[in-house]
Structure 1
């Protein structure tokens, strides 16, 4: 029997849709096979045929349900049609409004919709729109962070807002181990969403150098240094790499737009140049000056000390949380 399951999944553990393509079919399938909710990341541009193949490839690796994450700030209408046509289990949305119209589209296709939000106001809007669940992201999270509050204050307020409605609240931001899982449950959440911990797994599509930095470095910073031209007003939490420490005070009028190309990458089947200060993390295909590229990570990164199979991450989360509750909360 599962423990703290949500949306019919065995466990209340969600693997974040790591961008731009770090959570690919291998990682998502491994999470799904272990009883969690794995989320593919849709391309940040319209690429419906590629996305359909991504979903189909994932289905060759698992017979369990999974989902797809979409950043609403980027073109997504054609991608959305594919997600609903393929009837994945969950549509996760971020950085944009989860409207009643969008919820109706998802529900008409038999797809659950779970927005990720960063404030009580956005959570209320999602509840009113009819969302099936809410991922509430604290400022502790890695990558692009839309909110300003910490989980310890956000989660209880959103739980109070949900009340007795059947809408699971899922905590995201800095959670990497069983202690974080239990803390989120104590705040009233019914599940947790992890990004950085699943980035540092055998199945993630992150470059080995990026994974190694996650293991080696303990500190992060909330900044806007990377990707200003492509995604303005989108702050993010990054590892404090030597490159970042040198350039953390980059003048506000500078961006990646006129900076030199420092590498190349194939992202969702498309060849991309990576300029200095671009907001693109290195994946397996990336070549060039990787040490100077952005590396997103949440505040819990200092607790990650080894690369594990995704199934082992889930096993340790569940068994560790059960043990903590048994020993301390009888």
Structure 2
């Protein structure tokens, strides 16, 4: 059935590589221990030695396979070499083309490649490069969203072109519970990728205030106001916090560079200052004006009512999916009623 594993993992449940360091070793290991696909997030700068330490720390917490996510918009060649040297199970890439030569290098190292896409055209390029799986990100997703299509229309189109090559497709965007899981399976996906739901877990490295807002708030907006200088042309979906809701319209050339410093954080072992309108989300080390910082979230955030252990998230997803699918197969006839 559809809730079973993909790419050698027990379940087809992927924990998104939450940036810049929110999906750390503790979250990834607990996802892996529960049978899901846990993904670390590589630094957005070349730091191969540190990345090796991150991978090895995760291995000290689990004997299950896991992976690392890399944003191709940032320097990444040395980081990818470290990932392949460490022979993690999965390399997940996003926001850029992944050439066939690098896929071949990953395969020679025994590493499977998952490319996240936001359009049919990107999916076609990923398939031509020989990737092992594709994550289809719908416009409903939180964080940086590259595509404009909703998941319900984009997903089946990608499934159709991937089927002939036997490449599994994973759905992402607004999925937080078993209902979303089953809906994705019904559209042809073989797995689901969740970001916001795993952000709101006990093991996530997000700041407690950020987690609290994920539970308390239920509206998001697709915008480009955060991190314009660091990552231009990269729109994102964020929580409509009181700060964001009251934010005045920005000028076209206005960005975080000219804004005041509102906090400090240690990100991937490096000290960073956080300016107003920066795209950096607050992690557990962050100090300062937390509520005025960027807080990414998908449209499914309104369904998140509590902070859970990561393993419990996976357990509930599987159980809810099994129940829902069982009801559809064995349940009462909706026209004639129960027999």
TM-score range relative to shorter protein = over 0.9
1:70–1:91 CA contact under 8 A, matched in 2: yes
| Shift of residue 328, structure 1, vs aligned partner | 2.1
Counterpart contact for 2:2–2:190, Cα < 8 Å = no
Aligned match of 2:336: none
1:36 maps to 2:32: no
Matches within 5 A, 1:106-185: 106-185=106-185
1:199 lines up with 2:184 in the alignment: no
Secondary structure, counterpart of 1:297 in structure 2: coil
What TM-score do the two structures reach when normalised by structure 1?
0.99
Query: In structure 2, what is the Cα distance between the partners aligned to 1:161 and 1:98?
Result: 18
* Distance across 1 between alignment mates of 2:2 and 2:90: 19
| Residues 1:32 and 1:227: Cα distance change in structure 2 (over 3 Å) | same
Residues 49-64 of structure 1: matches in 2 within 5 Å? 49-64=49-64
Stretch moving more, 246-255 or 153-162? 246-255
Distance 2:329 2:259 in 1: 54
Q: Which protein has the larger Cα radius of gyration, Structure 1 or Structure 2?
A: 2
Query: Offset at 1:248?
Result: 5.8
Tell me the number of residue pairs that the alignment of Structure 1 and Structure 2 aligns. Answer: 330
| Displacement of 1:249 | 2.3
Assess if the C-alpha contact under 8 Å between 2:117 and 2:136 holds in 1: yes
CA offsets 1:40-95 (integer angstroms, 9 cap, x no match): 00000001110000000000000000000000000011111100000000000000
2:254 alignment counterpart: 254
| Cα distance per residue 1:215-272 (max 9 Å; x no partner) | 0000000000000000000000000001101116222221001100000000000000
Q: Is the Cα contact below 8 Å between 1:65 and 1:89 reproduced in 2? A: yes
Q: Which runs of 5+ in 2 are unaligned?
A: 331-339
Secondary structure at 2:5's aligned position in 1? coil
Alignment-derived partner of residue 221 in structure 2: 221
Tell me what 2:80 maps to: 80
Query: For residues 274-321 of structure 1, what are the alpha-carbon distances to aligned partners after superposition, in whole Å with 9 as ceiling and x for unaligned?
Result: 000000000000000000000000000000000000000000000000
CA distance in 1, matches of 2:171, 2:163: 16
Q: Distance in 2 between matches of 1:175 and 1:264?
A: 32
2:246 is paired with a residue whose SS is helix
Matches of 2:3 and 2:158, distance apart in 1: 22
Distance 1:248 1:297, change over 3 A: farther
Distance change >3 Å, CA 156–CA 248, structure 1 → 2: farther
Structure 1 residue aligned with 2:308: 308
Moved more, 61-70 or 246-255: 246-255
Alpha carbons of structure 1 residues 270 and 184: separation in structure 2 relative to 1, 3 Å: same
Deviation at 1:164, TM superposition (A): 3.1
Distance 1:21 1:198, change over 3 A: same
Answer yes or no: is the 8 Å Cα contact 1:85–1:109 preserved in 2.
yes
RMSD: 1.1
Given that 2:2 and 2:191 are in contact with CA atoms closer than 8 Å, whether structure 1 keeps it comes out as no
Secondary structure of 1:247's match? coil
The normalised TM-score by structure 2 is: 0.96
Distance 1:130 1:94 in 2: 15
CA distance in 1, matches of 2:155, 2:249: 32
CA distance, structure 2, for counterparts of residue 279 and residue 185 of structure 1: 33
SS of 1:329's partner is helix
- Measured in 1, the distance between the counterparts of 2:120 and 2:293 equals 33
Distance in 1 (CA, whole Å) between partners of 2:304 and 2:201 is 10
Query: What residue is the counterpart of 1:264 in the other structure?
Result: 264
Instruction: Tell me if structure 1 keeps the 8 A contact 2:140–2:173.
Output: yes
1:108-167 Cα distance to aligned partner (Å, 9 max, x none): 111000010000000000001100000000000000000000000011000111123221
Given that residues 2 and 10 in structure 1 are in contact (C-alpha distance below 8 angstroms), is that contact kept between their aligned partners in structure 2? no
